[in-house]
Amino acid sequence: MLSHPISELKGVGEKLEAQLNELGLFTIEDLLFYFPFRYDSYEVKPLTELTHNEKATIEGEVVSEPSLSFYGRKKSRLTFTLQVEQFAVKAVMFNRAFAKKQLHAGDTVTVTGKWDQQRLQITVSQFKKGESKSQAPIQPVYTLKEGVPLTTLRKFIKASIDAYEHEIPEILPEDLQRAYKLPERPQAIRQMHYPDNRIMLKHAKRRFIYEEFLIFQLKMQLLRKHHRESTTGNAQTYDNSKLTSFVQELPFELTNAQKRSLAEILKDMKNPHRMNRLLQGDVGSGKTAVAAIALYASITAGKQGALMVPTEILAEQHYQSLMEMFEGRASVALLTGSIKGKKRREILEAVGTGHIDILIGTHALIQDEVELHDLGFVIVDEQHRFGVRQRRTLRDKGLHPDVLFMTATPIPRTLAITAFGDMDVSVIDEMPAGRKPVETYWVKGEMTDRVLAFIQKEIDQGHQAYVICPLIEESDQLDIQNAVDLYNQLSSVFEPNIPVGLMHGRLHNEEKEEVMQEFAENRLKVLVSTTVVEVGVNVPNATVMVIYDAERFGLSQLHQLRGRVGRGSDQSYCILLADPKGDVGKERMRIMTETTDGFELSEQDLKLRGPGDFFGKKQSGMPEFKVGDMVHDYRALETARRDAAEIITEERLDKDGRYRPLRDLIYQDKQIMGEVLD
Ligand code: ADP
Ligand code: MG
């Protein structure tokens, strides 16, 4: 049986079993599904198809007796000439003196090593006498622990395939298998470990990638369906004419993307299921405007709305702008950690009795003491800064409030459909007309003086500038020191009539607010800051963003910072001061100067960093796939998602016998089913 322990295999003793257990291999099935993480190719190719400086395998005849020379202490070099096609190729082998006895003129050999196209030379790392046909052209490489040699692992994988192949169950229904021409499971397993050739391997991988994605998506969609069905009865009947006049009174016309997203949100509100939607859009794309309209809709339906944001500054800004927008239409209150005493009690009281329509705040909103009268709609801004648990607490504050998450980190579609597979997603992928893209430049540290002169010039024209301080890893304290130093330096650099402000995380909230206020009112011309200005802050008159040590920031963060400028009608500039050492850093700077499209940027970021890093380790919650790669195999992921949605909608898992094995497998997942049965 597949579920039997590995020790059932002949030759696996206690010691080996323990070692295999360490690799996470306990059962025969584990062994069968322990796929290689890489395949090395030993496929012989014609010389014209080889790539300079890359690994290659060639086959030829030894035409000169190998010559051996020694140098240094115990170092040797063996060289010989190989006749390959019509070329004489020089082969060099280091520290394998023994090979001299094995290789002779007239022998046919297959050698693998680094290929030098210019000199027609190969630095041999592996060789085999005889023709290439005698060895497998594609060799799997497995993750191993000390003590278990590759040959041993391979031997037992082979043994289990041979003995248990017929027991490997097919889990994909025939229709899907046929639709995508996927090889059968047992056959695919054999190919994963012992590929006959590149094509067979490709199909085997394709099969498991699809299988893996499909199972994942089925679980997600099942959860989503469950969430919907368990939360009926929250249909919000908003007042369409009030809403229309509200929208018409806005000082601008909504972009098409805003209209589309708004329609999606309103549809969720009207229907009796709880909304669980993500609204994505680049900085300045007009998410807040959409959110405000949706909040207003909820209020005309007689409910309360809440807006939760990550920082106090942001809460304050939203509070100000929503107060203006809702003047005469709804009552708005602000609740943050720094609002205390009598004022706090009054707000809580008014919220509890329903005298406040919209409550804006930070984490303070999810504390127990906050009791809402009739919460119908919750918006969570910058959602990935809140943990899953906080999201849930918030959700549970109302009976079944609709929840809209907003994020300005344009999450690549690839990730969005995966990480948020249980959410609906609306995307604002269009900027309001008339915005000028921010011009971005990357300059080396030695140009700092010229950058400062440029700031002076912009200020002379009435504009303002942000200067973001160098970032020192993981050290708040040092970051602040940096900010203070830079502040002192810049205060003396600029002409005395140019007031410079300082902003960092250790300032008291009132101080922060004051500084921000002064900057917003153009009383401060330059704002030196740590990354606390990153989110949401809106000062349209600021046209310059200078970022020190830009190479230390990730692409998404740089893009967020850049989003602080370019909010008015004047041309804005972002200057990256950076001396990146590595290629990735240089690549990042280059990408920043080449695009202002947040979605494209985040796709690039993902490629440079990989999905695990994208959200930061702690909150990543990103699924890990064994075979599939979310970025690389993104089409398969989309296909699987579409299929999963169809399967769940049509209830095929329960109703169609051919889906039985898949159903059993999914229902075995205790975590998923735990949530569903909760
Ligand atoms: P986000 O929340 O996505 O960063 P905001 O909603 O704050 O964007 O919008 C940024 C600025 O653009 C605000 O000043 C807002 O009034 C304005 N704005 C929003 N939508 C439009 C639009 N359709 N046309 C013109 N300006 C808009
Ligand atoms: Mg609803």
The pLDDT of residue 477 is 63
Q: What angle do CA 660, 663, 666 make, to 5 degrees?
A: 155
The pLDDT of residue 464 is 97
Cβ atoms of residues 515 and 527 within 8 Å: yes
- What is the position in ligand 1's atom list of the atom closest to the CA of 434? 25
- Residue 575: pLDDT band (50, 70, 90) is very high
Span 630-660, pLDDT tens digits = 777 878 888 998 899 899 999 999 999 999 9
**What average pLDDT does the chain have?**
86
pLDDT > 70? residue 150: yes
Token representation of residue 97: 């003196």
The residues whose Cβ lies within 5 A of ligand 2, an ion, are: 234, 269, 275, 402
* Averaged pLDDT for residues 383-387: 54
- What is the position in ligand 1's atom list of the atom closest to the CA of 428? 3
- Report the percent of the chain where pLDDT is more than 90: 45
DSSP state string for 230-260: TS--------HHHHHHHHHHSSSPPPHHHHH
Token representation of residue 39: 């395949």
Ligand 1 centroid–CA 318 distance in Å is 12
Token representation of residue 69: 């020379």
CA distance 508 to 510: 5
The pLDDT of residue 433 is 85
Question: Range with the lowest mean pLDDT among 226-240, 312-326, 440-454?
Answer: 226-240
Q: Which residues of 386-425 are buried (b: 16+ CB within 10 A; e: fewer)?
A: beeeebebbbebbebbbbbbbbbbbbbbbbbbbbbbbbbb
* Averaged pLDDT for residues 533-560: 83
Closest ligand to Cα 291: 1
pLDDT > 60? residue 473: no
Token representation of residue 483: 């900010």
Mutate to test the pocket of ligand 1, among 248, 249, 252 (most ligand atoms within 8 A of CB): 252
Please list every protein residue whose CB sits less than 6 Å from any atom of ligand 1. Answer: 252-255, 258, 281, 283-289, 408, 432
Identify the residue whose C-alpha is closest to ligand 1 atom 17. Answer: 286
CA distance 462 to 464: 7
Phi, psi of 62 (to 5 degrees): -70, 120
- Residue 610: pLDDT band (50, 70, 90) is low
Ligand 2 centroid–CA 265 distance in Å is 9
- Residue 225: pLDDT band (50, 70, 90) is confident
* Averaged pLDDT for residues 283-307: 93
* Averaged pLDDT for residues 388-401: 62
- What is the position in ligand 1's atom list of the atom closest to the CA of 255? 23
Span 190-205, pLDDT tens digits = 999 999 888 999 999 9
CA distance 70 to 78: 9
Ligand 2 centroid–CA 236 distance in Å is 6
CA distance 305 to 164: 59
| Amino acid, single-letter form, for residue 489 | Q
CA distance 95 to 313: 65
Identify the residue whose C-alpha is closest to ligand 1 atom 18. Answer: 286
Question: Range with the lowest mean pLDDT among 88-97, 207-216, 448-457, 601-610?
Answer: 601-610
- Max avg pLDDT among 118-122, 128-132, 338-342, 477-481: 118-122
pLDDT > 60? residue 129: yes
pLDDT > 60? residue 386: no
Cβ atoms of residues 82 and 111 within 8 Å: yes
Span 333-346, pLDDT tens digits = 999 888 888 999 99
pLDDT > 50? residue 620: no
β strands within 137-233, DSSP E: 138-141
Span 413-432, pLDDT tens digits = 666 666 666 678 898 988 88
Mutate to test the pocket of ligand 1, among 256, 288, 382, 537 (most ligand atoms within 8 A of CB): 288
Identify the residue whose C-alpha is closest to ligand 1 atom 20. Answer: 286
What is the CB neighbour count within 10 angstroms for residue 87? 12
User: Any residues with CB less than 8 A from the CB of 141 and at least 6 apart, and which?
Assistant: 36, 37, 38, 39, 40, 150
Mutate to test the pocket of ligand 1, among 246, 282, 287 (most ligand atoms within 8 A of CB): 287
- What is the position in ligand 1's atom list of the atom closest to the CA of 567? 11
Sign, CA torsion 103/106/110/115: positive
Compute, in degrees rounded to 10, the torsion defined by CA atoms 209, 169, 189, 182: -50
* Averaged pLDDT for residues 285-294: 94
The pLDDT of residue 619 is 41
pTM for this prediction? 0.68
- Strands 464-468 and 542-547 turn out to be parallel
Token representation of residue 255: 């972009």
Ligand 2 centroid–CA 618 distance in Å is 31
Span 39-57, pLDDT tens digits = 888 888 888 888 888 888 8
- Residue 617: pLDDT band (50, 70, 90) is very low
pLDDT > 60? residue 384: no
Classify burial at 487, counting beta carbons within 10 Å of its beta carbon; exposed 0-12, middle 13-18, buried 19 or more. Answer: buried
- Strands 304-308 and 358-361 turn out to be parallel
The pLDDT of residue 135 is 60
The pLDDT of residue 133 is 61
* Averaged pLDDT for residues 564-576: 91
Ligand 2 centroid–CA 302 distance in Å is 14
The pLDDT of residue 391 is 58
Q: Which residues pair with 502 in a beta bridge?
A: 528
Closest ligand to Cα 314: 1
Identify the residue whose C-alpha is closest to ligand 1 atom 15. Answer: 286
- Strands 375-381 and 402-407 turn out to be parallel
pLDDT > 50? residue 618: no
What is the CB neighbour count within 10 angstroms for residue 120? 15
| Amino acid, single-letter form, for residue 51 | T
- Token pair 């922060």: residue: 512
The pLDDT of residue 385 is 54
Q: Which residues pair with 129 in a beta bridge?
A: 109
- What is the position in ligand 1's atom list of the atom closest to the CA of 536? 4
